[in-house]
Amino acid sequence: MDLAFNEIVSHMPDAQSKSAVSPPQFSFRLWRLITLLLPNYLFPFYLALGAEEGGWLTALTALRWASFSVFYWIPTGWLVFGRQGSWIKRWLQGFLVSVPLYFLCLWIVYPLAAANFHPSGIKAWIIYFAGSIPLFLLVVCFAWLTTFRLWSRRTVAGAPMPPPASVNSRSA
């Protein structure tokens, strides 16, 4: 019994050893790359559809979809995970800034559907505000996932995951 306990303790990282696992770190460079890829993965489709329907000038208006990456995803992820401080303060500030950014992106994207973003009453504003909450949570989830290098590497580059360390590779 004592031998098994000593064996378990001997494999645990020491508090002062360099083998201790450090907490995940937010990489702003990686976050920008992911935010340009994930929300815009349908961009080639919109580009081809616009070229087919109205020519290349119409196709270039599909760049409006990139506004969500540039004006919403990047700043929101940085506000929540790219700064130091209390997590409640970062989440609250991130959400408060994300709401006007969400409205800005809708104002930019609505002309693609031959419409104008112009909520007419308080009920319409509440509906749009309610729509900003799931998008904020989605961005926060992806920003949180980018703190894990293996997930980020596999998602962006398609790199294979390294094999897990073998439990049975102990020296006898």
pLDDT, tens only, 6-46 = 444 444 444 444 444 455 566 777 778 878 887 778 778 87
CB distance 51 to 58 below 8 Å: yes
* Residue 11 counted as domain residue: no
* Residue 164 counted as domain residue: no
Radius of gyration in angstroms for the set of CA atoms belonging to the chain, rounded to a whole number: 23
* Residue 44 counted as domain residue: yes
| CA–CA distance, 17 with 127 (Å, rounded to integer) | 52
pLDDT, tens only, 121-162 = 999 999 999 999 998 998 888 888 777 665 555 555 555 555
| CA–CA distance, 133 with 167 (Å, rounded to integer) | 43
Share of the chain above pLDDT 90, in %: 14
CB distance 110 to 128 below 8 Å: no
* Residue 19 counted as domain residue: no
| CA–CA distance, 18 with 127 (Å, rounded to integer) | 51
Q: Residue 4: which pLDDT band, with cuts at 50, 70 and 90? A: very low
What is the torsion angle, in degrees rounded to the nearest 10, for the CA atoms of residue 99, residue 28, residue 142 and residue 157?
A: 140
User: Of the given ranges (79-83, 90-94, 115-119, 167-171), which has the lowest mean pLDDT?
Assistant: 167-171
Query: How many domains does one find in the chain?
Result: 1
Q: Return the higher-pLDDT residue of 100 and 2.
A: 100
Question: H/E/C letters for each residue in 2-59?
Answer: HHHHHHHHHCCCCCCCCCCCCCCCCCHHHHHHHHHHCCCCCHHHHHHHHHHHHCHHHH
> What is the predicted pLDDT for the residue at 122?
93
CB distance 117 to 103 below 8 Å: yes
* Residue 59 counted as domain residue: yes
* Residue 116 counted as domain residue: yes
Range of the domain at 81: 26-157
> In this model, does residue 171 exceed pLDDT 60?
no
* Residue 152 counted as domain residue: yes
pLDDT, tens only, 55-88 = 777 777 777 777 888 888 888 888 888 778 888 8
* Residue 115 counted as domain residue: yes
